[in-house]
Amino acid sequence: MIKPHAADALKPLYVADDAARKKLAAEAAKLPSIVVSSAAAANAVMLGSGYFTPLSGFMNLADALSIARNMHATCGLLWPVPVLNVAPADKLGSVKAGSRVALRDPNVEGNPVIAVQDVKSIETISDEQMEALLQGVFRTNDPKHPGVAAFTSTGRTVLAGPIQVLNYSYFATEFPDTFRTAVQIREEIAKRGWQKVVAFQTRNPMHRAHEELCRMAQEAVNADGILVHMLLGKLKAGDIPADVRDACIRKMVDVYFPPNTVMITGYGFDMLYAGPREAVLHAIFRQNAGATHFIVGRDHAGVGKYYGPFDAQAVFDEIPAGELKIEVFRADHTAYSKKLDKVVMMKDHPDHKPEDYVMLSGTAVRDMLAAGKPLPPEFARPEVGAILMKYYQNEAGA
């Protein structure tokens, strides 16, 4: 099986031994504590799950700035997005460098401890450094960018140091059939006997174009199976909730894919909308999950007009050979061709005009479903459309 990123084995930071975990929880109850940001809690989940192998915890400011500048930590490790625990200075209380602190989950009632951190350093992000981080990661400092807005809302104080993870936040309890760690996915791939696995990232329900793109990639690389890996964390306003997406994807796979060809899984992370940098992050943690190939499509992890349509593919040309083991399948925009009566990649058909495709904007889709109008079968499977219609009509009636 493909090796994890920059390591011979996964390095999940979840304390799996029951006795050790109970002992750590008892210690955590006596430690100073802080309620972390949703982003820091999601980072803890990813560290605990093994997706962020080979990291041992939260980064310091020097590593964050180095990564923003050239996608490499100060030690030379390829990493595209800083993994930080940032908090407001007035929330730290007695926490100082050299101490241990219990990190409390902002997304679960009662704010239970999600991890314990050894605080190696506490640093403050200056205005100049914040600008460098935003431009390096998001390519913009526009406060309307949802990733920028989230990043700048968490404070300026960086707590760096290794962590031990006690639980997977709300992801394991709210999505028990879907949330999987990188360890669990690797175990399932081995159990199925798959050698080549193509991974598909999604924060949306999968329409016909997404479905066919997975088939195209599987056929092109001769993969044994497809890993549909959906984001289960926080999204921007207006995006479809994870439980609705989960239901749509499961129905599509159940009806339209042969048995034992698709693994439906999810991971506990908040969307960054960081375009190219997030595409590289997605590739790294799919490699850690055991996938050999990763689909990167048009405007991958993008939002608005902040990134060019294929910037998220071009960024992989900047990575030195050998630093990533996973192979990227570069996909063009896919849509249903009226001429050919099937979903195609648009780059393969220069003879087509825009009117030769069935394409709907997100606004048009929402308006149709809210009004009780079924989506064209060329755009969405009817079974998927029915689930979405129920959701939008409930929203409209709320």
In this structure, what are the phi and psi dihedrals at residue 295, rounded to the nearest 5 degrees?
-80, 125
State the alpha helices, DSSP H only, in the chain.
Answer: 18-28, 38-49, 61-70, 127-138, 146-152, 171-174, 182-192, 208-221, 242-256, 276-288, 311-314, 362-370, 382-397
Calpha distance 10→287 (Å, rounded): 10
Is the Cβ–Cβ distance between 10 and 48 less than 8 Å?
Answer: no
Which residue among 100, 139, 156, 203 is the active-site one? 203
Angle at 360 between CA 355 and CA 364, to 5 degrees: 130
Burial of 55 (0-12, 13-18, 19+ CB in 10 A): buried
CA neighbor of 269 nearest in space, from 203, 328, 207: 203
Place of tokens 């399932």: 188
Amino acid at 237: A
Calpha distance 70→27 (Å, rounded): 39
Side-chain half-sphere CA neighbours of 44 within 13 A: 32
Break the chain down into helix, strand, coil percent, rounded to 5: 40, 20, 45
Catalytic residue list contains 167: no
The H-or-E segment that residue 330 falls in is: strand 327-330
Catalytic residue list contains 204: yes
Which residue among 111, 192, 204, 250 is the active-site one? 204
Is the Cβ–Cβ distance between 387 and 252 less than 8 Å?
Answer: no
In this structure, what are the phi and psi dihedrals at residue 201, rounded to the nearest 5 degrees?
-90, 135
Amino acid at 15: V
Calpha distance 133→130 (Å, rounded): 5
Structure letter (DSSP) for residue 231: E
Coil, strand or helix at 316: helix
- The residues annotated with a catalytic role in the active site are 203-204
